[in-house]
Amino acid sequence: MTALPPALSPYPPNQAPDDDVAVESTVRLDRNLAAYPFPWRAGAEDARAAAGALSEAAACAGLELLAAVSLGPAGRDAAAERGVASRAYLMDDERLLAFERGRRAWLRFNDGAHCSVSCAAAGLDLTGPWAAASSIDDRLAASVAWAFDPEAGYIQADALRCGSGLAACVRLHLPGLAMAGLLDGVFRKALEAGFIIEGAYSARQTSAGSVYSVALPEAYREPEPASLDRLQRSVALIAEYERRARAELAERRPLELGDLVGRAYGVARGALLLGRDEADELVSALRLGLAEGLLTGLGMAETAELWLSLRMARGSRPEGSPADGGGPGGAPARGAELRDDAGTPADGGDAAERARLLRDAAARLKPAKG
């Protein structure tokens, strides 16, 4: 392919609904073929046959097929960080992905379900991704038969997930609520309403840069539009709480807010080495400063892309330098050893590249007058 499909490309720098708080909205439909065993039970021959049938259906539906092996290391990294597929899926050279050229939509085969149709949009917008996913689902169904029961709905490997096969989540940037100490109360209400919070009450994902996900539970049996409307309204309410928290911080704790943003701006302009977690927190503070008018020069979509770029940063190391950025012969360099993520030694080349990318972005920023 001469150009990357939208699912593997940055979002355009256009303003999206509620993008001062909402980073991205994603909808997924899981489907299984009636004529084949579930992926976890299928042998190699059945798995290849199912993938072949789905590949033909995807081609007939106007989608473009792409082998995971053709992405290369950088492409696989980008696909994993953008949530297109897991790293384990992408490392299997026989895996296929299908993309729609005009939309941020993609398909995975034999990954939990025989077919997973995912669509995403910037900001708070579940309607657009739902329409795109539903359209692709209808086009695929013209070529293959889904496992469906009139009472149970679409059959899934997990009986609790039988029904619509719908999954949806919205990623939110909530530094105001975090600083105000109000996250627990807001998340408790969302949990009581039946939603899943990732980044706070989840063992699968920890918060980085005050980014959290609010998602539908796996066993949602309402009609899809009703489920998505419920999630959209709940997320919009959380976004409003976040704006109020930010406004209160700006009014009652302006020095603390300004100090957070100012320090992040200073470090971003001069850093030479950055761990991933530190980079996440710096971008979070810069994004808050842009949303509150303390900084200018970048849009919300650009800060979201900056998060991804920093997490994907890969740099070359000088010849003879060890992977952890230490001194000659593998000895630690003088001073504190650079640590990344959960305390593991960071790659000095990656940390330097991460800092360079952040400096380049910070060069476009300007403190607001006054």
Task: For residue 104, give the CATH number of its domain.
Answer: 3.30.590.10
The answer as to whether 33 is a domain residue is yes
Same domain, 222 and 300: no
174 located within any domain: yes
d(CA 54, CA 10): 27
- pLDDT bucket at 130, cuts 50 / 70 / 90: very high
The whole-number pLDDT of residue 370 equals 62
259 and 219 in a single domain? The answer is no
Are 32 and 157 in contact by the 8 Å Cβ rule? The answer is yes
Task: Classify residue 71 by its DSSP letter.
Answer: G
At 300-325, the pLDDT tens digits run: 999 999 999 998 888 764 444 444 33
Same-domain status, 324 and 232? no
Mean pLDDT value of segment 291-304: 95
Q: Are residues 43 and 130 in the same domain?
A: yes
Q: Do 277 and 353 fall into the same domain?
A: yes
Residue 288 has pLDDT above 90, yes or no: yes
The tokens describing 116, both together, are 């997973």
**Inside any domain, residue 58:** yes
3-state DSSP assignment of residue 124: coil
Number of H-type helices and E-type strands within the chain: 11, 14
Q: Is residue 192 part of a domain?
A: yes
Residue 330 confidence (pLDDT) above 80? no
Domain count for the chain, please give it.
2
| pTM of the model as a whole | 0.87
Residue that is written with structure tokens 């943003």 in the block: 261
In a domain, 221, yes or no: yes
**Is residue 5 one of the residues assigned to a domain?**
no
99 or 161, which is more confident?
99
pLDDT tens track for 175-197: 999 999 999 999 999 999 999 99
Last residue in a domain, options 245, 279, 302: 245
Domain boundary among 245, 272, 288: 245
Q: Residue 42: its pLDDT value, please?
A: 86
319: containing domain: 254-367
Domain presence at residue 125 = yes
* Residue 329 scores a pLDDT above 50: no
Q: Pick from 41, 27, 26, 25: which is nearest to 147 by CA? A: 41
Query: Within this chain, do residues 229 and 315 fall inside the same structural domain, yes or no?
Result: no
Burial of 329 (0-12, 13-18, 19+ CB in 10 A): exposed
- What is the arithmetic mean of pLDDT over 246-255? 96
The residue from 218, 245, 272 where one domain ends is 245
27-78 pLDDT, tens per residue? Answer: 999 999 999 999 888 888 999 999 999 999 999 999 999 999 998 888 899 8
Do 277 and 223 share a structural domain? no
How many Å apart are CA 210 and CA 178, to the nearest integer? 7
Where do we find the tokens 């398909």? 107
The string of pLDDT tens digits covering residues 134-163 is 999 999 999 999 999 998 899 988 887 888
Same domain, 229 and 108: yes
Residue 312: burial class (beta carbons within 10 Å; 0-12, 13-18, 19+): middle
Q: Which residues of 49-79 are buried (b: 16+ CB within 10 A; e: fewer)?
A: ebbebbbebbeebebebbebeebeeebbbbb
Query: Would you say 271 and 279 are in contact if contact means Cβ atoms under 8 Å apart?
Result: no
Provide, rounded to the nearest whole percent, the portion of the chain with pLDDT above 70: 88
pLDDT of residue 219: 64
Q: Closest Cα partner for 170 from 367, 28, 268? A: 28
pLDDT at 273 over 50: yes
Judge whether residue 337 has pLDDT over 60.
no
The mean of the pLDDT values for the chain is 87
Residue 162's pLDDT is what?
86
207 and 289 part of one domain = no
Residues 273 and 335 in one domain: yes
